[in-house]
Amino acid sequence: MIQQTRPCKVIIAGGGIAGLGLAVMLEKHGVEYTLLEAYPEIVAPAGAGICMLPHGLRILDQLGCYEALVSKVQDVMEIMSYRDQSGEELVTLDGFTVKNVERHGYSTLWVGRRELLQVMYDCIRDKSKLLTKKRVESVRQLDKGIEVTTADGSVYRGDILVGTDGVHSQVRMEMVRHATEQGIAEDYAEEDSINPGQVRVLIRGVDCSPGIPRGYLAFGVNEGFSNVIGTGPKGRVYWFVTRKMDKTYFGSDIPKFTKGDEERFVREHWDDQITADVQFSDLYKAKQDVIHTPLREFVYRKWHLNRMIVLGDASHKMTPVLGQGGNQALETVAALTNSLMAALKRPNSNRLSVSEIDAMFTEVQNLRAPRAAKMMVESHEQQCMHALETPELREVMLHQFPQMAADLVPTFWDATIAPAVSIKTLPVPKRGRMVPFEDEIRAKL
């Protein structure tokens, strides 16, 4: 355990990937914290699949979670393919994990969100700091701290509040409220101007499906929509279909889908070919977990105010086609940990001042917002390509891309992985790689 020299108490709101990740990081550094989770369980029994990429796995490796996750998954990604509207292969790249390990030191894993949260939860030694049924209701600024009141009337005080409570973040709402009271509401009133409602998605998880091999990742291109399939632990198939909505919606105008909307969506895609031998209907009949929701795409201009900051999906959100969501969330909380530890190690026995906290939060946003925005744009562009949204994209995906894929795909993924953030104060286990991470190169200079 790494001890800081200055006292600090962190309150974390939200026990998802970002929240649990930050909790493990703080415990590793001996920083006092309390995590407030709104729901009855930290590790909920349901949840969709998530693709963990080398940059996210490197952080989990630093936290001591990587080996446990690999043991749960067992089937690492071996095959990546792209399929056309008939489910026929456009291109297949074999040995995907071997090449990823050679290039970056880590494989690519499809895993259930529940399994990932369980591994992270198991890494936390003192679970008394993880509190459930504690939905944040209001936040009050104190002279030398911050006070959080939950829906059950409990009150918690700390030096900073980190909102990792998702796209509908209550901490974000409290930031907007405080900004309004301070006369700077226009700096935080972004919900009606960002571009969050362009596509909608139907996500399914099934136990297994004939015709879908283990260790598989497939992108299906089609007219106006696309699908992604990945196989995870015990042959479980995770998949989603993404389709552009009739128009772009903003803020409160983003629709909430009903069961009837879902049923219509299913009927419209019932006969879609996922592979040459597997249809949408085959996967739907074996469904377990269901999420039918508009997808949001945003990177907020303002992530913090006074002693509050929002991270993960509460600050940046992108379409899932590149599997960046959870990986980017881990990068962002790693960046906060880096800045926090640098501040706490300064030769000063006093608690962090508001000006120090503002400088720390600004550093995190300045580092992470550009990369998150780049990943959001690239995810959006990939979605447009896979949905063949223009004649030019159709020509590229169906005719040009198959000829270039063998060289283009590794180069593309290198560019998304190498610039990633890791935890500066924790060692990275030695794993050979041909393509070093940029922060590892800087550390040697």
Q: What angle do CA 262, 267, 268 make, to 5 degrees?
A: 100
Tokens, residue 232: 């995870």
Section 111-128 average pLDDT: 95
pLDDT at 193: 58
pLDDT at 243 over 70: yes
Split at pLDDT 50, 70, 90, the class of 2 is low
Classify residue 117: in a domain, yes or no: yes
Low-confidence winner among 25-29, 46-50, 271-275, 432-436 (lowest mean pLDDT): 46-50
pLDDT digits (tens, 9 = 90+) for 28-61: 999 999 999 999 999 987 667 889 999 999 999 9
For 133, phi then psi, to 5°, come to: 55, 40
How many percent of the chain have pLDDT more than 70?
A: 94
Split at pLDDT 50, 70, 90, the class of 231 is confident
pLDDT at 354: 96
Section 263-292 average pLDDT: 90
Low-confidence winner among 85-99, 218-232, 241-255 (lowest mean pLDDT): 241-255
Which 3 state secondary structure label does DSSP give 202?
A: strand
Split at pLDDT 50, 70, 90, the class of 357 is very high
Low-confidence winner among 158-162, 195-199, 385-389 (lowest mean pLDDT): 195-199
Section 22-30 average pLDDT: 98
Ramachandran sector of residue 311 (left: φ over 0; alpha: ψ -120 to 50; beta: rest): beta
Classify residue 270: in a domain, yes or no: no
pLDDT at 9: 98
Classify residue 240: in a domain, yes or no: no
Section 225-248 average pLDDT: 87
What pTM value is reported for the model? 0.95
- 389: exposed, middle or buried (Cβ count in 10 Å: 0-12, 13-18, 19+): middle
Distance between CA atoms of residues 89 and 10, nearest Å: 50
Split at pLDDT 50, 70, 90, the class of 291 is confident
pLDDT at 309 over 80: yes
Classify residue 108: in a domain, yes or no: yes
Which 3 state secondary structure label does DSSP give 401?
A: helix
pLDDT at 96 over 60: yes
Low-confidence winner among 154-168, 197-211, 297-311, 349-363 (lowest mean pLDDT): 197-211
Distances (CA, A) of 189 to 44, 139, 176, 364, 410: 32, 18, 7, 21, 39
Classify residue 277: in a domain, yes or no: no
Q: At what angle do helices 17-28 and 325-344 cross, to 10 degrees?
A: 30
pLDDT at 208: 67
> Can you give 60-88 as a three-state secondary structure string?
HHHCCCHHHHHHHHCCCCCEEEEECCCCC
Instruction: Name which residue leads in pLDDT, 43 or 211.
Output: 43
How many percent of the chain have pLDDT more than 90?
A: 71
Classify residue 259: in a domain, yes or no: no
Classify residue 100: in a domain, yes or no: yes
pLDDT at 68 over 70: yes
Low-confidence winner among 104-118, 181-195, 319-333, 367-381 (lowest mean pLDDT): 181-195
Low-confidence winner among 197-206, 349-358, 381-390 (lowest mean pLDDT): 197-206
Q: Residue 424 sits in which domain range?
A: 9-193+297-443
Distance between CA atoms of residues 157 and 147, nearest Å: 4
| Mean pLDDT rounded to a whole number for the chain | 91
Section 162-172 average pLDDT: 96
- Other C-beta atoms lying within 10 Å of the C-beta of residue 189: 14
Classify residue 204: in a domain, yes or no: no
Section 18-30 average pLDDT: 98
Section 244-258 average pLDDT: 83
Tokens, residue 363: 């550093």
pLDDT at 250: 78
Q: What is the CATH classification number for the domain harbouring 83?
A: 3.50.50.60
Instruction: Provide the number of structural domains found in the chain.
Output: 1
